[in-house]
Amino acid sequence: MKIRGKLDIMHSDLTILRKRILILVLSLNLALLVNPALYAQDGDTSLHIRPGKFIIDPDRSILKIFVGRAGLLSEMGHNHIIISKDITGELDYSHA
């Protein structure tokens, strides 16, 4: 029997948010791997991404997703790493 309450709903919302953040971070990392010219050239040591549209190179790109365990029963589960070498697409990045 599964009891659903506010805690379950909050957990599912956090899980969805974590997934969206992870996808955004992975997309930005893929764009940086595709075009190293995205790094700032002004001597600044922090990472800056130049706005633009970037094509993902399927021959040099790997999509790696880490899915961690969470929730009340997380101690009974295990983590997963999903890897795909068959990716294509583009990233359209612009400053908002």
Q: Which structure tokens are listed for 1? A: 């029997």
Q: Where are the alpha helices (DSSP H) in the chain?
A: 6-34
Q: Are 73 and 38 in contact (CB under 8 A)?
A: no
H/E element holding 55? strand 52-55
Domain ranges within the chain, ordered by starting residue: 6-93
Residue 17 has pLDDT above 60, yes or no: yes
Under the phi-then-psi rule, with left for phi > 0, alpha for psi from -120 to 50, and beta for the rest, what region is 50? beta
* pLDDT, tens only, 29-78: 665 555 555 555 555 555 567 788 888 888 888 888 888 887 787 788 88
Q: How confident is the model at residue 1 (pLDDT cuts 50, 70, 90)?
A: very low
Residue 2 has pLDDT above 70, yes or no: no
